[in-house]
Structure 1
């Protein structure tokens, strides 16, 4: 990929751009994320009190680091947007990297924007291969380039945060890269953390699933990824992702189902 493929003739200086990166214990990934956006006018790393040196690595590379205690992902993103100094914002997670083509497209869009928020496709690298199926490509997760006032997230959303768009929506042609897991331990760790947050979200919504519904949701999650989304075409990587989706979904509902059980035996 080359930057010239998305180049255009500018009529004047582009608006300034803030990039924010949310992070928690991402020492093995944060450098690649920060280095991919050092061309921006402002790079903020919003760290939630990492204990592995994430903040130090980011600061040494030139990013401005701010500590924001984690409550929910929705509030974290709203706080991150509020911390940005410029009118245009590009959000990047710690496991993502902005590519040269995506940078060139950002520059072109900012010179003559035709929308207020833009979805950006992501290419995912896992188990030594690009994931082409599983619903992971083009993987439009949420708008990642937007005017500061055009995106508001649900403050209460623990995970899989909802958002409101105020303005016109556009789509990138160029993709960024995500490396979600460097090993299976990271996949299991994320499944554990996100299933706990998801269970809290279910409880807050007043839902009381059973273990049977937890199993049904888990089986459906595997079937949707592996069969309907053609995950089997991604080989063992597709199977592992589908299995991880089963586990994450099952435990999300199972944790909500068992939240009110007493695990300790009665004392006699």
Structure 2
């Protein structure tokens, strides 16, 4: 006789949707999609990339939907609404689902004990695993959740605010993140995120002066490099701490300079250009 199925477990796991948000990630999207091809549905939410992100994702069997970017919060809510199954796993384009995390997802789906789960991430940067800098276990928002359980703040430009409706749990198995393949990508992200962060500061009325920008930047470096032991991660830890300094400084500096009424030179031909000394 065939073995009976325990009454407290479903015969088969509920179906799973995976969504990946992406913008100009042609060098990363293939690895991300391939790591979750076992899922019942893989959606790539592309914000009109100018490279071949969408084409690569389609070739690998993912469903691609174009969603114009306004804020990260709205983008994630739109991504969730696009998923057709009750359970959802979110993955960024620079992340990879590991075999261990896949096995844990499938076990949870058969016998869930929570409505939303935080997943630890292992970050690889400058040829090494980052074990400090606040980058491990590096939980962000829940990544495995029931569709009604997670709602994002539509107005959140960056570092999306969210609300969990239900019980939360934590994975034991980590996924992998490769945030930057080179320093140019780190600088590009710093520029983009500092601009989005400056808009948030302006809207909240927290924009201040350049002294405030420098103070916040120095504190960001000290917090990552000293308090979070970034110095134990070698030069990679220093670069991450310094990048955090730059991103924080420019976030506040951009908000501060946006308030200024600096005017261009009216007439270059008559402008005094003598050495002030």
TM-score range, shorter chain: over 0.9
Deviation (angstroms), 1:260: 2.3
Partner residue, 1:121 = 120
Deviation (angstroms), 1:12: 1.0
Partner residue, 2:72 = 73
Deviation (angstroms), 1:265: 2.3
CA distance in 2, matches of 1:11, 1:248: 48
Q: What per-residue deviation string (whole Å, max 9, x for no partner) do you get for residues 28-82 of structure 1?
A: 0000000000000000000000011000000000000000000000000000000
Partner residue, 1:5 = none
Q: Does 1:186 align with 2:185?
A: yes
Partner residue, 1:38 = 37
Partner residue, 1:3 = none
TM-score by length of 2: 0.92
Deviation (angstroms), 1:264: 4.0
- How many residue pairs are counted as aligned between the two chains? 260
CA distance in 2, matches of 1:204, 1:260: 12
CA distance in 2, matches of 1:164, 1:228: 29
Moved over 4 A (4+): none
CA distance in 1, matches of 2:111, 2:100: 17
Alpha-carbon RMSD across the aligned residues, in angstroms, is 1.1
Q: What per-residue deviation string (whole Å, max 9, x for no partner) do you get for residues 222-266 of structure 1?
A: 000000000000000000000000000000000000012244424
CA distance in 2, matches of 1:17, 1:43: 9
Partner residue, 2:4 = none
Partner residue, 2:194 = 195
CA distance in 2, matches of 1:68, 1:33: 19
Larger Rg: 2
Deviation (angstroms), 1:267: 1.2
TM-score by length of 1: 0.95
Partner residue, 1:85 = 84
Q: What per-residue deviation string (whole Å, max 9, x for no partner) do you get for residues 118-177 of structure 1?
A: 000000000000000000000001100000000000000000110000000000000000
Deviation (angstroms), 1:208: 2.2
Partner residue, 1:153 = 152
CA distance in 2, matches of 1:13, 1:144: 21
Return 5+ residue gaps in structure 1 as ranges: 1-8
Moved more, 92-101 or 257-266: 257-266
Partner residue, 1:144 = 143
Q: Does 1:170 align with 2:169?
A: yes
CA distance in 2, matches of 1:240, 1:207: 28
Deviation (angstroms), 1:206: 1.5
Partner residue, 1:108 = 107
